[in-house]
Amino acid sequence: MDGLRRHKSMFLLPGLLTLFLIIIFPLLFTIRVSFSGWNVSNPQLDFIGGANYTAMLHDGRFWASITRLVLLAGGTVLIQYLIGFGMALLVWREVRGRRFWRVLFLVPMMTTPVVMAAIWQTIFHESLGPANDLLEVLGLTGIPWLTESGPALVALMTVEVWQWTPFMFLLLLAGLLSLPKEPFMAAAIDGAGTWRTFRKVTFPLMAPVSVAAVVIRLIEASKLSDSVYVLTSGGPGSSTETPGYYLYIQGLRDQQTGYSGAMSLTYLVLMIVTLTVVAALLTRAFKLKGDS
């Protein structure tokens, strides 16, 4: 028994130690940094108390980026869920060329976000890109996609939806494929129509997968910064900045290291709280058990 006990730790320890080194150490270091006045001219780990946190409370640009992220992430994940579920339902049952559609629909998720954002930047070019060309074909006027704040946010959301709807599609389709057959037979015997079957059978059965997919996507979307960097550089002005991007500007480009540490931790705590609440609300709304 003693040998077994030693073994079980031997299995777990390498991974756990690695995780500690690469998670706990950086986290502790960031906490320490956040209480220092470390910046580009003074790279010191001196202790200055909560000054960084006080400054942060008055930093409108930081809070604006957080509000923007909530809208961006919430909006895009909702759109991704609706389209992803819709497409999964369409491809689920009899469809010609099913494999072809599935491969095609999965591809964006597999491609490098920054690389595809660079392609999207050329697509949204005001005079040389196809986005405005398409609008003109439809008889509409072109839009200055990346140089005005509203359109820039729409462009950013378009890229996110393009890139990550496949993730929803993949998870929801896998969920649909693993559903039991009996409830559908029962519904058919009861004479339930398409919509009724969906509302009473498919959707409830899919709730656990749905919640998992939405929460995972929210976690990933909350880190949104790479495509902002490539597509708009946070501009025009700071109108498309997300916290991830603003933290990059402050901490790495301008080397306000202490200040960015304080904001990073605040952002992390806000995110954990928000995601926990969202996950709990979704779980309760769909009356799921705690394990999903």
Partner 1 sequence: MRSRLYPVFKYTVIALWACFVAGPFLWAMTTSFKNANAVQGGPTYVPWAQYEPTLTGWRNIFGGAGGVDVIEPFVNSAVVTVAASAISLALGSLAAYALSRYRFKLGFIKNGDIVFFFVSQRIMPPVVLVIPFFYLLQWGGLLDTIAGLVIVTVALLLPIAVWVMVDFFNGIPREIDEMAMLDGCPPFRTFVRAILPNSLPGLTVAAMFCAVFGWNDFFFAFRLTFTEVQTLPQAVVALNSSIPPWWTLSAAALFGVAPLVLLALWVERLLSKGNLSGAVR
Q: Which of residues 113-132 bind partner 1 (CB under 8 A)?
A: 113-116, 118-123, 125, 127-130
Shortest gap between Cβ of 219 and partner 1 (angstroms)?
Answer: 6
Are 63 and 267 in contact by the 8 Å Cβ rule? The answer is no
Binder of partner 1 out of 55, 153, 268, 278 (CB under 8 A) = 268
CB nearer to partner 1: give 25 or 63: 25
Residue for token digits 């709280």? 273
CB nearer to partner 1: give 54 or 111: 111
Binder of partner 1 out of 40, 48, 104, 140 (CB under 8 A) = 104
Number of residues that bind partner 1 (CB under 8 A): 93
* Distance, CA of 194 to chain centre: 32
Helical segments of the chain, H only: 2-19, 25-34, 51-57, 60-92, 98-110, 113-123, 130-137, 149-177, 182-189, 194-197, 203-221, 226-231, 243-248, 257-285
Span near partner 1 by CB under 8 A; candidates 49-57, 58-66, 106-114, 280-288: 106-114
Contact string (CB under 8 A) for partner 1, positions 243-262, x = contact: xx--xx--xx----x--xx-
279 lies in the site for partner 1, by CB under 8 A: no
CB nearer to partner 1: give 154 or 268: 268
* Distance, CA of 150 to chain centre: 20
Binder of partner 1 out of 275, 278, 279, 288 (CB under 8 A) = 275
Contact string (CB under 8 A) for partner 1, positions 169-188, x = contact: -xx-xxx-xx----------
Span near partner 1 by CB under 8 A; candidates 49-57, 147-155, 164-172, 198-206: 164-172
How far is CA 123 from each of CA 88, 117, 226, 239, rounded to the nearest angstrom? Answer: 27, 10, 17, 20
Q: What's the number of CA atoms in the CB half-sphere (13 Å) around residue 208?
A: 11
The single-letter DSSP state of residue 37 is -
Contact string (CB under 8 A) for partner 1, positions 186-225, x = contact: -------xx--------------x--x------xx-xx-x
141 lies in the site for partner 1, by CB under 8 A: no
Beta bridge partners of 39: 42
d(CA 66, CA 75): 14
Of 26, 55, 35, the closest CA to residue 258 belongs to 35
How far is CA 185 from each of CA 180, 189, 198, 202, 208, rounded to the nearest angstrom? Answer: 10, 6, 13, 12, 21
230 lies in the site for partner 1, by CB under 8 A: yes
The sign of the CA dihedral 265, 266, 272, 273 is positive
- Among positions 59-88, residues that touch partner 1 (CB under 8 A) are 83, 86-87
Q: Other C-beta atoms within 10 Å of 261: how many?
A: 23
d(CA 234, CA 69): 12
Shortest gap between Cβ of 123 and partner 1 (angstroms)?
Answer: 6
Shortest gap between Cβ of 214 and partner 1 (angstroms)?
Answer: 13
CB nearer to partner 1: give 18 or 54: 18
Binder of partner 1 out of 66, 72, 77, 91 (CB under 8 A) = 91
1 lies in the site for partner 1, by CB under 8 A: no
